[in-house]
């Protein structure tokens, strides 16, 4: 019986998540504020949105989520997003496992960004990677950060206040406040002054 309710919920959310225009935005805001933590006041959630375990996702006020974005948590993980957050299309914020993703206020994220607090284990060469399990970590993005398009942010990293991550970068270690980083792996290429 439970699987029927899960499937009905998926159908309802599919329909709601693909309603066009201002009515679709209003319907999504009112629907998801019942599931997410936080108020979601003035939230604009565009079409194609997918989420998992919204009760462990805390959304601030005045947020914008572009087309086809995904935000995932699970019973052991959490995602917290601060006020005045904006993300462009096709962004995935994924804290499944026991990971955690904390995003501060006034953060801008470009299209096609992946923020993932877990990763595959691969230490045993004679065992398929998909059978080795996952590692989990924490990602913290402080206030007033701009993340360019096609960036990947990996677990156990902190992006400091006011930093800029250039398009296409892969963040594997901490980024200092007000620095500009780029490349694979991301390295400092400048300082905001």
Q: Which of 42, 55, 75, 120 is an active site residue?
A: 120
- Is 120 marked active-site? yes
Give the contacts of 2 (CB within 8 A, at least 6 positions apart).
Answer: none
Among residues 172, 167, 53, 84, which one has the least CA distance to residue 180? 167
Rounded CA gap, 140 and 30, in Å? 28
Helices (H), the chain: 2-17, 21-32
Token pair 């805001």 is found at 29
Q: Which two tokens stand for residue 15?
A: 């329909």
- Token digits of residue 93: 């914020």
Please give the positions annotated as active site. Answer: 120
């Amino acid at each position: 019986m439970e699987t029927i309710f899960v499937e009905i919920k998926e159908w309802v959310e599919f329909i709601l998540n693909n309603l066009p225009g201002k009515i679709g935005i209003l319907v999504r805001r009112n629907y998801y504020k019942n599931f997410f933590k936080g108020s979601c006041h003035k939230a604009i959630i565009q079409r194609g949105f997918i989420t998992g375990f919204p009760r462990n996702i805390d959304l601030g006020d005045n947020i914008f989520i572009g087309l086809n974005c995904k935000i995932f948590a699970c019973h052991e993980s959490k995602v917290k997003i601060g006020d005045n957050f904006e993300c462009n299309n096709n962004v995935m914020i994924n804290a499944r496992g026991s990971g955690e993703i904390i995003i501060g206020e006034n953060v801008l994220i470009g299209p096609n960004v992946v923020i993932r607090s877990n990763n595959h284990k691969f230490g045993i060469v004679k065992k398929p990677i998909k059978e080795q399990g996952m590692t989990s970590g924490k990602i913290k993005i402080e206030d007033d950060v701009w993340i360019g398009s096609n960036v990947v942010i990996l677990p156990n990293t902190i992006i400091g206040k006011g930093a800029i991550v250039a398009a296409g970068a892969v963040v594997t270690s901490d980024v200092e406040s007000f620095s500009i980083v780029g490349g694979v792996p991301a390295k400092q290429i400048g300082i905001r002054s």
